């Protein structure tokens, strides 16, 4: 795969996840990395790469509607002990849109899998996953069990839901609406996922520049926002589908609840969004450490230092020792 470009992100400055280079909020500091773009299939994928300590690799996978920008305050906590990489999923962040793609789970997995294959990585990888990044990460790990050194997960898709009754009541109606014909109006026109759901799922108030970083990839109405519409429609609910993602989730759940040789860290958000469901599903998982931090669904925006310290401690004591 052809490497297209690279530019330095240094302390006090980060490339915002848009099609342009912009200064980011001055509070974002301490991450020293390379911003890279690589051609994958018929698109391009952007990713952050700290490069140093290449004998180890921690892969940070975001979900909907975010990007590698989500990890900007967490990566600095571990970049001195491992190479850190954070891709933008196809059609999201600074990765390209793909004409004709519906951005389904399998579409995203195709591009992400090829990204894994195209980057010079060590044999064993440490996955740090959130939201749909967890679904993609769990699925990749399940298919490549011998390559996974550890998994750290938060607000994660640990299992399919049996029915909508298991979906958090506070978000049930809007997510059902996005899976209905009304979803096009809500998301493709009104941009509800980025403009309303994202900021309301963070305890603190995101500042203007932070919101701009999340809004820019989806500022044009219509197909540019399609990834943020398709993701809610891919949530695996046994009574409502989609059948393929339900089966994938059943498979990775079955593996993870038996994976005694795999160190796992769960960052539990309090109060969180899926926290109660995740705790119930994972309470008997083997080799599974739990740390609680303050946060709603996008806990990285509320407790980045606490997450970063917990991740560093877990990697140094349970994985890199």
Residues taking part in catalysis: 131, 155, 297
Residue pair 46/17 in contact by the 8 Å Cβ criterion: yes
The candidate with the shortest Cα–Cα distance to 304, out of 206, 208, 197, is: 206
Is the Cα torsion angle 65, 148, 49, 4 positive or negative in sign?
Answer: negative
C-beta of residue 88 within 8 angstroms of C-beta of residue 94: yes
Query: HSE of 213 in the Cβ direction (CA atoms, 13 Å)?
Result: 23
CB atoms within 10 A of CB 307: 26
Hey, how many other C-beta atoms are within 10 angstroms of the C-beta on 163? 10
Of 242, 230, 144, 127, the closest CA to residue 187 belongs to 230
DSSP 3-state assignment of 271? strand
Determine the Cα–Cα distance for residues 270 and 144; give it in Å rounded to an integer: 31
- Distance between CA atoms of residues 211 and 24, nearest Å: 11
Going through 112-228 in order, the beta strands assigned E by DSSP cover 125-131, 148-156
Tokens 């912009």 label which residue?
Answer: 22
Query: Which DSSP state fits 240?
Result: T
Sheet holding 264-271, edge to edge: 3-9, 33-40, 43-49, 83-87, 57-61, 125-131, 148-156, 264-271, 288-295
- The torsion defined by the Cα of 175, 166, 108 and 320, in degrees rounded to 10, comes to 130
């Amino acid at each position: 795969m052809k490497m297209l470009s690279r530019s330095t992100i240094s302390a006090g400055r980060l490339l915002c996840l848009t099609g342009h280079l912009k200064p980011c909020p001055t509070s974002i500091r301490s991450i020293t990395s390379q911003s890279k773009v690589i051609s994958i299939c018929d698109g391009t994928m952007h990713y952050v790469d700290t490069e140093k300590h290449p004998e180890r690799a921690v892969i940070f996978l975001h979900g909907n509607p975010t990007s590698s920008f989500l990890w900007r305050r967490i990566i600095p906590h571990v970049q001195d002990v491992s190479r850190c990489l954070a891709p933008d999923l196809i059609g999201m962040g600074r990765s390209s849109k793909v004409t004709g793609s519906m951005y389904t789970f399998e579409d995203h997995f195709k591009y992400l899998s090829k990204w894994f294959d195209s980057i010079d990585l060590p044999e064993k990888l440490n996955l740090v996953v959130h939201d749909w990044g967890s679904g993609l990460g769990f699925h990749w790990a399940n298919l490549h069990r011998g390559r996974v050194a550890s998994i750290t997960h938060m607000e994660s898709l640990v299992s399919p839901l049996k029915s909508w009754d298991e979906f958090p009541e506070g978000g049930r109606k809007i997510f059902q609406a996005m899976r209905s014909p009304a979803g096009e109006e809500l998301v493709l026109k009104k941009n509800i996922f980025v403009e309303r759901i994202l900021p309301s799922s963070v305890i603190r108030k995101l500042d203007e520049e932070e919101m701009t970083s999340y809004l820019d990839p989806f500022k044009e109405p219509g197909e540019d926002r399609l990834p943020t519409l398709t993701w809610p429609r891919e949530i695996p609910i046994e009574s409502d589908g989609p059948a393929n993602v339900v089966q994938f989730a059943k498979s990775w759940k079955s593996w993870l609840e038996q994976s005694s040789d795999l160190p796992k860290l769960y960052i539990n958000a309090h109060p969180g969004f899926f926290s109660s469901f995740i705790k119930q599903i994972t309470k008997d998982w083997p080799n599974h450490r739990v740390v609680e931090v303050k946060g709603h669904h996008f806990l990285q925006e509320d407790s980045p230092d606490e997450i970063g310290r917990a991740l560093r401690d877990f990697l140094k004591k349970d994985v890199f020792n």
